[in-house]
Structure 1
């Protein structure tokens, strides 16, 4: 049976726009940094093209929103939905601000660039000869490890599936929006598909970008992601 994209619920994942630290390649977890002017423009441009009635992300079809508590994510949500956000909330659609979708806690690596982290670990003898550190498998000193991240993301995914399971054939609006951060959203995709976080799967998600997850064959037991998605036909 072919997927019915007009009916099957979707999960939109949106990365916040550019920040000064992201622009410099500095690991940004708990640091509460705001969007740059360009970062806000990235979000507004995404919104103008993709958000609205009969567009890719139709606010009228949302059943729930999850957003990171960090300023950069909160600003992104406001810029993305604009006036739609007040309507959504007045209609009783829950907007959940939660640490469960906050960025990976980098601990002692906060603010460092990738080469600096790897050099630091080499000096401390934390990595075997020839091994290169990556956050997915190794976690962060004083911060989170993969199992902690997996636990909180799995909690969100379980809540989403509970919302969407009764709506696999469009019984009611059940799209979900998650506004968060680059690394945690890539981890979210891994867990959505049931993959371990350390499994090698190169992914990219640009600042202000939108990814789309859903299900094959209108089945909640077949989570999938859209490699490409056509825009709605007017």
Structure 2
């Protein structure tokens, strides 16, 4: 009698979203899109703190933003050898607001928000949603467990698109530096399985 066939899972099972570690601008609240600012020493420590948790998983693909703060986080977290740099994972392009804090911008535009305001010379919500939707489609065509190293606003938009098709939902999905979030499924429905977990404070698995 022949052995029973082994069931091979098809399609993506989980997407692990990892925000890069702290930078000087993330600490001060300055919008950091195109500026290729490095991690602080604390940011490097944050990235290293993720290594044990990530090493306990088998990742079928590791995708990373082209910005050095994301690449260094991926390397220090122990997944640099698997890393594929992916241009669509770059942070929101803040245009004329690059390097400014929300509080500073609201001195002249009290209702300003990255989630609904025009962004001259950059990306508005519609453009970011289109980019995030393309990333979601690419992820759904992949298999297994995928790690994705990127940036706060883009990962929040991606989370919104994953569960609802709407990047604007990301306004309600806060992310700390060097946090891990897990996208997956509840039966056939796309779901957030874990959000904004911090390796040094609580278990991820």
Q: Provide the TM-score with structure 1 as the length reference.
A: 0.74
Shift of 1:138: 1.6
Aligned counterpart for 1:73 among listed residues 67, 70, 80: 70
CA–CA distance in structure 2, aligned partners of residues 155 and 45 of structure 1? 31
CA distance in 2, matches of 1:97, 1:120: 37
Specify the SS of the correspondent of 1:12: strand
Instruction: Say which SS state the counterpart of residue 60 (structure 2) adopts.
Output: strand
Matched, 1:135 2:114: yes
Partner Cα distance (1:66, 1:183) in 2: 17
User: Offset of 1:185 from its aligned partner?
Assistant: 0.6
Query: Compared with structure 1, are the counterparts of its residues 140 and 158 closer, same or farther at alpha carbon in structure 2 (3 Å cutoff)?
Result: same
- Matched-pair contact (CA < 8 Å) for 1:137–1:197: no
CA distance in 2, matches of 1:200, 1:37: 28
Three-state SS of the structure 1 residue aligned to 2:61 is strand
Residue 17 (structure 1) aligns with: 21
Q: Distance in 2 between matches of 1:179 and 1:121?
A: 32
CA distance in 1, matches of 2:28, 2:204: 33
Give the whole-Å Cα distance in 2 for the aligned partners of 1:200 and 1:75.
25
Judging by fraction of residues, say which structure has more strand: 2
2:136 equivalent in structure 1: 157
In structure 1, the gaps of 5 or more residues are 1-5, 89-94, 123-131, 165-173
Q: Which runs of 5+ in 2 are unaligned?
A: 1-8, 198-202
Alpha-carbon distance in 2 for matches of 1:136, 1:149: 10
* Post-superposition offset of 1:209: 0.8
1:148 corresponding residue in structure 2 = 127
Q: Closer, same or farther in 2 for the Cα pair 1:62/1:163, shift >3 Å?
A: same
Whether contact under 8 Å (2:17, 2:181) holds in the other structure is yes
More helix by share: 1
1:205 is aligned to 175
CA offsets 1:56-106 (integer angstroms, 9 cap, x no match): xx1xx322222111110010110112xx543x4xxxxxx432231111000
Alpha-carbon RMSD: 2.3
State the distance in 1 between where 2:194 and 2:69 align: 27
TM-score, scaled relative to structure 2: 0.84
User: What secondary structure is seen at the aligned counterpart in 2 of 1:191?
Assistant: helix
1:110 aligns with 2:77: no
> Aligned in 2, Cα 1:71/1:231: closer, same or farther, shift over 3 Å?
closer
Q: SS at the partner of 2:168? A: coil
How far apart in 2 are the matches of 1:39 and 1:203?
21
The residue correspondences of 1:151-230 to structure 2 (distance < 5 A) are 151-164=130-143, 174-199=144-169, 201-217=171-187, 219=188, 222-227=189-194
Partner of 2:109: 121
Partner of 2:54: 51
Aligned residue pairs: how many?
Answer: 190
Say if 1:139 and 1:179 are closer, same or farther in 2 by CA, change over 3 A: farther
* SS of alignment partner, residue 106 of structure 2: helix
Alignment-derived partner of residue 3 in structure 2: none
